[in-house]
Chain A
Amino acid sequence: MGQPGRSADAAPDAAPGASPGAAARAPLLGMLTALLRNRLALAGFVIVGLLVLGALLAPLVAPQNPYDLSKLNFMDGRLPPGSMSTDGSVYLLGTDDQGRDMLSAILYGLRTSLLVGVASAAIALVIGAAAGLVSAYAGGRTDAVLMRVVDIQLSFPSILIALILLAVLGQGVSKIILALVVTQWAYYARTVRGSALVESRRAYVDAARSMALSDRRIIFRHILPNCLPPLIVVATMRVAYAIMLEATLSFLGIGLPVTQPSLGLLIANGFAYLMSGNYWISVFPGVTLLLLIVGINLIGDALRDILNPRREG
């Protein structure tokens, strides 16, 4: 799908002036240039880009592998930023209570946060979008059942669902991703269903039906591309939310193993030392998490503006 928009075999929209999705006229490239022209979005891109780069290159650039217990020395624990280690290297951002280099721990923690955030958002998007499309297209009882499930799920706080799931499943990256998918798919389902309901009543869908195209083709080639703009915006925001949720779960001590701290766990570790003045254990991972969330949200906001059909109307 090179261009999100109506396929060639769809009939032109009969309703004059109606915009079945601004993205239909704006190719991805156009969207991107619009984004880059937006200063805030650009700032978001730079921040997120740098953090992603740091996370990807962590094994190469980090001074220490913070996940390797034999590389740590708790005698170096809680050293302030700029301290020398027992073997002569410098801890730029200090160390935590286990003697982990904070810079390394943050870079590795970012990897976990991003992996969990992006993977869970992507999987939830696929599942949620499929459910939403089916719900909208099939209507009737299927729609009712699916949407009641979504209603029930959305009425529970996602943190609660995730807590219960993790208590049952145990620790681990794959389990936390699963828990986040379960808590998030409903948002996508609802968003997609909304757009798909509107789209499926449009003339081009009637036209496609009249050409006896298969349901699957109509759903995925005709309706789905036109539901993408809101979906992209929701997905961006949800990635940020998933990262925050993971941090919260880790902060509560039930997400990831303690020997592989993500940003949330690092903040939790340092939290207890704040009164003793060892601020760096919590503050640096906290700032990193903040930057990541703000960066993603800046991009998301700009996307919403650009993809908003009324803006161009």
Chain B
Amino acid sequence: MKLLAVTALALSVALPNPAPAKSLTIGLAAAATSLDPQFYVIGPNSALARNIFDGLVNQDAHQKIQPALAISWSRTDDTTWDFKLRPGVKFHDGSPFTANDVVASIKRVPGASKNSPSSFLPYVKAIKDVVAVDPMTVRITTNGPAPLLLNDLSRIAILPASDATVTTEQMNQGKGVIGTGPFKFVSWVPEDQVVLARNDAYWGGKPAWDKVTLRVFKNDSARTAAMLSGDVDMIEDIPTTDTQRLRKDAQVSVVNMTSNRLMYLHMDQGRSTSPFAKGPDGSNPLLKRDVREALSLSIDRAALVQRIMDGQGTPAGQVVPDGYFGQDPTLKVPAYDAGKAKALLARAGYPHGFELTLHASNDRYPNDSKIAQALGQLFSRIGIKTGVVTLPASVYFSRASKLEFSMIMGGAAVETGEPSGVLGPLLETYGPGAGQGNRGRYSSPAFDAALKEARHTLDEGAREALLRKATEIAMHDVGIIPLFFLDNTWAMKKGLSYPGRSDGYTLAFDVKAK
């Protein structure tokens, strides 16, 4: 050790020009609302937390689980998991990381959920108990088989045990914001910026940046302008309208990555008459599978992505993108076929179409209102008399939940990194604790059975097969119409690189100078 230090000293003296302090400034699209990583499940907070904290396991760029503070795990029976911890890890305050910290962190979650708009409780719901077997081993017992335990754990930031009693308010004042992650917390100005400093002792390797400043530009144009003027080195979430401009700029490079957010259409399948879908006899045409398939085939997904989204999307034929656990390679993106769509409509008894109003939000997803209008055009072309109404999200979602519409557009993020996180909320038969986001009221006993079984299957192979089966049933029934996955985008100065992430997080550690 001493020798190493001496060598390092010698090296630093020997270098003629010590590298100047490297700093990185990133323009973010949304501000974190709290520094407490266990307070509020929302993108900006989680992204910020990942710069400072680690979980027992972390999700990689494609939401696959990777070892982090735990280097390995094993299951002794269906409900008992043993985690071997990474040795030699130190918190930012210098204290060593041990099993006690894991126990304290997981037990802190219920306390940190106080007043949370969306707490982390769902991620510890499956956990019955957590104990420190020895300083480097943690045992977690679950309530029944919990195939998603690792995913749940990837959401829980590990804090030092001394933080067990630190409240969210204290953290927001900068107290106890201590993790094991690549960067240390320096300062936070809410709604404006967060400053981070390098954690030289990071277990994943020394970060490339001495200082990282995360500035918030909620306004799309302001963010783009900051990038173009060189105020920031990098921005996230490029507005689609500015994509052309940034791509043309020789000083800027653009990174696209298919995100885990699926844009889809829900169709009313729960009622014989529907308020905004009326056949000539007044009945609800969306009950017929042929009609739903016709609608799906009438959508030119590639053109939609290319023209309306400026290429910032990936056409979808199922609920998770390529490369995800449970993705079904046999399900292709439905090919645009207006002729076949018309034939299907005629076969279903609507040779002259029917009346349909598509409702969509106009401030929730990128270009939501424009996508809805383009869909209106596509439906009109196969003879459906289509109207399009867009509403602010504040009004839209509550009315959609009250089933005031017949066809709605929505977006769903695959938080779990596998299909059940979307299949469950959107397609499972609506009832207490099930299908809460199923605003189309699709219902299939076969689908429900496959999904339910997958939830209790620990064997990865068998679980994947069940999830594929469920997906196939729902897609064959056209329970929803998948449109496309949004792309996450970043723009950065030439000379920087970022691999991109499907969860959209901007992690300074992964930004590298070429």
Contacts and interface: CB of A to CB of B under 8 A. Distances in A.
A70 interface: yes
B224 A253 contact: no
Contact of A253 (B307, B379, B380, B392): B392
Given A258-B373, A259-B376, A74 B241 contact: no
A271 to B, nearest CB: 9
A73 B304 CA distance: 11
Interface in A164-180: 167, 171
Contacts of A68: 380
Interface residues of A, number: 23
B245 A275 contact: yes
Given A258-B390, A272-B241, A275-B224, A70 B303 contact: no
A253 B379 CA distance: 23
B193 to A, nearest CB: 23
Interface in B393-437: 395
Nearest to A272: B241
B389 interface: yes
B392 A272 contact: no
A288 interface: no
A262 to B, nearest CB: 15
A101 to B, nearest CB: 14
B363 A98 contact: no
Contact of B241 (A70, A171, A257, A275): A275
Contacts of B381: 70
A258 B395 contact: no
B167 interface: no
A275 B387 contact: no
A259 B308 contact: no
Nearest to A77: B307
Nearest to A274: B221
A98 B239 contact: no
Contacts of A13: none
B370 A97 contact: yes
A273 B241 contact: yes
Given A167-B395, A275-B245, A276-B244, A98 B380 contact: no
Which secondary structure characterizes the binding site on chain B? Answer: helix
A258 B369 contact: yes
A275 B221 contact: yes
A277 interface: yes
B386 interface: yes
B377 A276 contact: no
A167 B391 CA distance: 10
A273 B308 CA distance: 12
B392 A69 contact: no
B387 A259 contact: yes
B239 A69 contact: no
B342 to A, nearest CB: 13
B220 interface: yes
A41 interface: no
A73 B242 CA distance: 22
Chain B: interface size category: 20 to 34
B389 A257 contact: yes
Contact of B380 (A70, A254, A277): A70
A126 to B, nearest CB: 31
B386 A69 contact: yes
Question: Which of B307, B369, B372, B386 is the most central at the interface, judged by chain A CB atoms within 10 Å of its CB?
Answer: B307
Contacts of B221: 272, 275
B166 interface: no
Nearest to B303: A75
A230 to B, nearest CB: 39
A72 interface: yes
Interface in A159-194: 167, 171
B303 A257 contact: no
Given A74-B303, A171-B389, A259 B373 contact: yes
A98 B363 CA distance: 18
Contact of A254 (B225, B386, B392): B392
B281 to A, nearest CB: 23
A74 B245 contact: no
Interface string B352-381: 000000000011000001101110110111
A77 B310 CA distance: 11
A138 to B, nearest CB: 41
Interface string A64-87: 000011101111010000000000
B362 A253 contact: yes
A275 B242 contact: yes
B388 interface: yes
A98 B374 contact: yes
A143 to B, nearest CB: 39
Contacts of A254: 392
Nearest to B310: A276
A253 B370 CA distance: 12
A259 B373 CA distance: 7
A68 B373 CA distance: 11
Contacts of B373: 69, 74, 98, 258-259
A69 B298 CA distance: 14
A69 B390 contact: no
B308 A272 contact: no
A74 B377 contact: yes
A276 B240 CA distance: 10
B370 A257 contact: no
A69 B241 contact: no
A258 B388 contact: yes
Contacts of B386: 69
A276 B245 contact: yes
Contacts of A258: 362, 369, 372-373, 388-390
Contacts of A75: 303, 307
Contacts of A272: 220-221, 239, 241
A72 to B, nearest CB: 5
A98 B390 CA distance: 15
Interface in B232-275: 239, 241-245
A259 B224 contact: no
A158 to B, nearest CB: 20
B363 A253 contact: yes
A259 B370 CA distance: 10
A46 to B, nearest CB: 35
Interface in A120-167: 167
Contacts of B377: 69-70, 72-74, 98-99
A69 B358 CA distance: 12
Nearest to A73: B377
Nearest to B224: A275
B308 A74 contact: yes
Nearest to B387: A259
Given A69-B386, A74-B304, A75-B303, 17 more contacts: A70-B381, A74-B307, A97-B308, A98-B373, A99-B377, A167-B395, A171-B391, A253-B362, A253-B390, A253-B392, A257-B388, A258-B369, A258-B373, A259-B376, A276-B242, A276-B244, A276-B245
Interface of B: 220-221, 224-225, 239, 241-245, 303-304, 307-308, 362-363, 369-370, 372-374, 376-377, 379-381, 386-392, 395
21 contacts: A69-B373, A69-B377, A70-B380, A74-B373, A75-B303, A77-B308, A98-B374, A167-B392, A167-B395, A171-B391, A253-B363, A253-B369, A257-B388, A257-B390, A272-B220, A272-B221, A275-B221, A275-B241, A275-B245, A276-B241, A277-B245
The 6 closest A-B pairs by CB, nearest first: A70-B380, A272-B241, A69-B380, A69-B376, A74-B374, A276-B245
